[in-house]
Amino acid sequence: MMTVEVFVTGRTLTVDTERDLADRILRALTFGESAPESTLDSAREFIHVLVVQPRTWVTGGPAADTAPRYLVRVTVPGSWSNREFADAIVPMITEAVAGTEPDATRLRREPHCVVQIVGLREHCVGTLGHATTGTEITRLMTRRFRDSGERPEAPEGSTIDPVCGMAVEWATARYTLAHDGVDHAFCAPGCRKVYAEDHGLT
């Protein structure tokens, strides 16, 4: 469950350009070769992108009145919010926003796109009518892949996360678990926890 709020000032966005900006961010977060389509498709159901143009926005700097500014607030379960997550998400979102500008390199030179990652405490986000944990949301997001029986082939030097289907390089794997004599690697602690719970390893 991820909410991405994009606050924009310094440029007038039409409904179409707002939609383009939101679509670019959603695509950046849920497209790629790293995970099977069943996982990415499920992830799209749990990501909400809102574009907001505040009536009042006061900021400073030499380009305060001329350069568009962006404040992007990404709200996720607290268990997802860590340095590794930020290192992946901040560039993705910055590039997606930059793609809507005439100069796509400006936001790499000027601090005019600030991305804030807000982690919610466990049980402070919910769906299906009840409070949920980050692990439960991971389970919902990966259910289609796990139920499909799909098992992609791992690139050389990698393995497939058995929960979400992402390719994980053994050399850099941070989250691993052995079960029934087989070593597994996971893309994130949430996937490792789902596997452990499902196999009675907690």
Cα–Cα distance between 52 and 21 in angstroms, integer?
11
Q: SS3 for 3? A: strand
Beta bridge partners of 5: 50, 73
Residue type (1 letter), 64: A
Beta bridge partners of 132: 125
Give pLDDT, residue 191. Answer: 93
Beta strand 69-77 pairing with 113-120: parallel
Cα–Cα distance between 77 and 179 in angstroms, integer?
27
On whether the CB atoms of residues 68 and 10 are closer than 8 A, the answer is yes
Nearest-10 Cα torsion for 3, 9, 11, 14: 40
Residue type (1 letter), 114: V
Residue whose pair of structure tokens reads 């393995």 in the numeric block: 159
**Has residue 130 got a pLDDT over 70?**
yes
How many Cβ atoms sit within 10 Å of the Cβ of residue 186? 24
pLDDT digits 0-9 by tens, 51-99: 999 999 998 877 666 789 999 999 999 988 888 899 999 999 999 999 9
pLDDT digits 0-9 by tens, 28-45: 998 866 788 888 888 899
On whether the CB atoms of residues 59 and 69 are closer than 8 A, the answer is yes
When pLDDT is cut at 50, 70 and 90, the band that residue 149 belongs to is confident
pLDDT digits 0-9 by tens, 4-14: 999 999 999 99
From 154, 142, 174, 184, select the one nearest 40 (Cα to Cα). 142
How large is the angle between the packed helices 37-45 and 134-148, nearest 10 degrees? 140
Q: Report the run of H or E that residue 97 belongs to, with start and end.
A: helix 83-98
Phi and psi of 126, rounded to 5°? -150, 160
Cα–Cα distance between 9 and 78 in angstroms, integer?
29
Mark residue 134 as left, alpha or beta (left: phi above 0; alpha: psi -120 to 50; beta: remaining): alpha
